Chains A and B, each alone.
Chain A
Amino acid sequence: MKKLQKADYIKMYSFMLKIRRFEERAAQLYGMGKIGGFCHLYIGQEAVVVGILMTIDKNDSVVTTYRDHGHMIARGLDPKRIMAELTGREDGYSAGKGGSMHMFSKENNFYGGHGIVGAQVPIGTGIAFTHKYNGEKNICRTYIGDGAMNNGQVFEAFNLASLWKLPVLYIIENNKYGMGTSVDRAAAGLDLYKRGEAFGIPGEKVDGMNVFSVIEAADKAGKYVREGNGPYIIEVQTYRYRGHSMSDPAKYRTKEELDNYKQTDPIEIVKAEILKKKIATNDEIEKINKDTLEEIKNAAEFATNSPFPKDSELYTDVYL
């Protein structure tokens, strides 16, 4: 694995912070009625997507679940346009027609944003199929929530991916709850990463609160997949600080449990490392904090000032 440079630390910190500030702002806008419908926040899980981000090729493809804002930010997409999609405005990535759960950026190889639990898994497998069919060296990272790991099509996809040796990296974001049901009440067998074993897919469990662990695992798994060995599964142990969606008070878990995870906050871990390694000073970090806050504030302003889609847009984009 290539050694992390000073800039990498700053990049990680900035991205993770940007995701957190974005989600906090989204929660605020939701509370103000500026964002409607479902809105699933990524707070607490930032190290997962940012860790993976550090190992990617920009021509790799990504497909994820409806908890997708953080994934888009990590993909380098513009927070202004992401937020504008959340507010359902014409500047949003889906021109206001998709909303929080359905966002895409073809030019950045970001294939959603899928609202149906598990559906993105065969789709990501098919995108990987295309990389192989076209003779490209790229892989498709396919994110899966722990809830989807009990969904039939996931295993159909695992079977196909292994059978056809497809370049797909499955990343299970195990945030411990599928909506309000804890993993141990939903899954018979808690080692989700082992669920590819029967198909010959290697798997690994990783501490998802620690970005450095994620990078290490993602690097190894990515190489394995890119070299044409077929799929690989990483189960990242993470935790969402908020409820399943904005309308979920998360009464199914204790405050102690949440506080416990907050002790290992992924952003604080990176920050501590930066200070320890003297990569940046406290002042420099403060500047990043201030700039990030500013950027997200601007995004929110942009998103609430962007016009609603024109009425005529109702009938466009049904067919090409």
Chain B
Amino acid sequence: MSTEILMPALSPTMTEGNLSKWLIKKGDTVKAGDLIAEIETDKATMEVEAVDEGVVLDLLFKEGEANIPVNKAIAIIGDPNEKVEVKKEAPIEKVIEEKKIEKNIETKIENKKANIIDTPSPKIEEDRNLSSEEITMRQALRDTMAEEMRKDNKVFILGEEVAEYQGAYKVTQGLLQEFGKERVLDTPISEHGFTGLAVGAAFKGLRPILEFMTFNFSMQAIDQIINSAAKTLYMSGGQINCPIVFRGPNGAAAQVAAQHSQDFSSWYSQVPGLKVIAPSTPYNAKGLLRSAISDPNPIIFLENEILYGLKGPVNNDVNFSIPIGKANIEKEGKDLTIVTYSIMLQKSKEAALRLKEEYNLDAEIIDLQTLRPLDTETILNSVKKTNRLITVEESWPFGSVGSEIANIVQRDAFDYLDSPVIKVNSADVPMPYALSLEKLYLPQVDDIINAAKKVSYIK
């Protein structure tokens, strides 16, 4: 019987990989544990071991072939003499078939994640000065940090694995090489300590960029963020400001479960003294991160791990920035308003396409970009036009950014509303591990469509 060797997922968010090298050739005998290939992912190049044994019957991809989806067969191993038997043994094939179906479901979900990443980039406006080349969000963030570090010696970066490892998610790739270890510092795993240290450095006039490997770990340091960074300007009567950027991935990645999948947008947005930014594309990531690094206040910059691979055009002008506190009307529409941010922009766009196709509803999409200070004007103007509002975000429902928007809209645009505001949030539970439950937990396109139907009184 023969067995397919599938492209492995080497990280929770990997959707495809490049076959950088075969370590076996056709006709080789492979034992479990033997190295068979080198696979390059978005984060690293890793060796892959065989788990099944047999003779290599076929290699399905050549060395150097790129973007091979996870779970795609890349080689076949088996016993060359038993080929005929395999055909005879129908029940075994059936088992394989069933297994394939299961895998197909998984692949579908994985591909769905990939699809999110592949949705078209924001509409291109003439004045945007967009590059012809598309880059990933990861590169956009990296490039912006490097550009700002070249401009201002006071900007430095610290965090876990940001230097020699090149970033846990490769967002700081190459910075150590360009700026040296005085300005790109690997810290020990002590968030409370190094966050306080960075806050002190900012008080004294430096401009730290602090990377949390993920924002989940910022809870270890939240006292320094809120009690020290956010409040000292006020407590000192305006004397001591804290120009610091806290950045890193926020929210769910893929199946990393409750302690590593949490959205902190409303937590930090509640705090006066902090500004909170959540980019959704490489384009706005660049413009917003530049504004964040130049800002004299403490900034919470919420990235999203799944979006790191999102490609899009950017503005390569090293002075290009997007103002903090300004939302972007991602798509104009007349029938209802969808207010969203970060990764949920992509799902909202997908939902808007289907709303048009299936229900002839023309949704306006507002990408908040900044959560605090909130661009209430753009939201209110849109609601006054469409008279219907849904908010879409990954955070838990209680006291979320959407809750505050609902409050503002009912207060300031009550007479314009034709239906109650509906919020689309994650489920009000800790993040489960199981793939099926994780999908249920997170807001999906169907949830957005249902909310849109509801505010439009469509059954």
Contact = CB atoms under 8 A, between A and B. Distances in A.
Interface of A: 61, 63, 92-98, 102-106, 111-116, 119, 121-131, 133, 152-153, 155-157, 159-160, 163-164, 316-320
Interface string B186-227: 011010111111111111111000000000000000011001
A112 B156 CA distance: 24
Interface in B212-263: 223-224, 227-228, 232-241
Contacts of A121: 196
A26 B198 CA distance: 34
Contacts of B223: 116, 119
10 contacts: A61-B204, A102-B232, A111-B200, A113-B235, A121-B196, A123-B224, A126-B203, A153-B196, A320-B296, A320-B297
B311 interface: no
Contacts of A125: 193, 196-197, 200
Contacts of A128: 200
B349 interface: no
Contacts of B358: none
Contacts of A153: 190, 192-193, 196, 224
Nearest to B236: A104
Contacts of B234: 97, 317-318
A93 B296 CA distance: 21
A176 to B, nearest CB: 26
B227 A119 contact: yes
Given A94-B237, A122-B194, A127-B203, 12 more contacts: A96-B237, A102-B232, A104-B237, A119-B224, A122-B199, A123-B199, A123-B200, A125-B196, A126-B202, A129-B201, A133-B156, A320-B296
A97 B235 contact: yes
A316 B233 CA distance: 10
Contacts of A124: 200
Contact of A112 (B201, B236, B297): B236
B240 to A, nearest CB: 5
A130 B237 contact: no
Nearest to A313: B237
A126 B236 contact: no
Interface of B: 156, 182, 185, 187-188, 190, 192-206, 223-224, 227-228, 232-241, 272-273, 275, 296-297
Contacts of A320: 233, 238, 241, 296-297
A154 to B, nearest CB: 9
A105 B236 CA distance: 8
A213 to B, nearest CB: 29
B190 A133 contact: no
A160 B227 contact: no
A81 to B, nearest CB: 10
A133 B199 CA distance: 14
**Interface of chain A: mostly helix, strand, loop or mixed:** mixed
Given A116-B227, A122-B200, A130-B204, A318 B192 contact: no
A123 B225 CA distance: 11
Nearest to B237: A95
B70 to A, nearest CB: 38
Contacts of B197: 122-123, 125-126, 129, 157, 160
B239 A106 contact: yes
A98 B188 CA distance: 33
A20 to B, nearest CB: 26
A320 B233 CA distance: 8
A98 B234 CA distance: 8
A156 B190 contact: yes
Given A124-B200, A127-B204, A106 B240 contact: yes
A130 B156 CA distance: 11
Given A133-B156, A153-B192, A153-B193, A126 B204 contact: yes
Contacts of B206: 129-130, 133
A119 B228 contact: yes
A98 B272 CA distance: 15
B296 A126 contact: no
Nearest to A164: B185
B190 to A, nearest CB: 4
B224 A122 contact: yes
Contacts of A113: 235
A122 B195 contact: yes
Contacts of A317: 233-234, 236-238
A156 B233 contact: no
A93 B237 contact: yes
Contacts of B202: 126
A137 to B, nearest CB: 15
A160 B190 contact: yes
Contacts of A93: 236-237
Given A122-B224, A152-B192, A318 B204 contact: no
B156 A126 contact: no
Contacts of A98: 235-237
Given A129-B197, A317-B234, A318-B233, A123 B273 contact: no
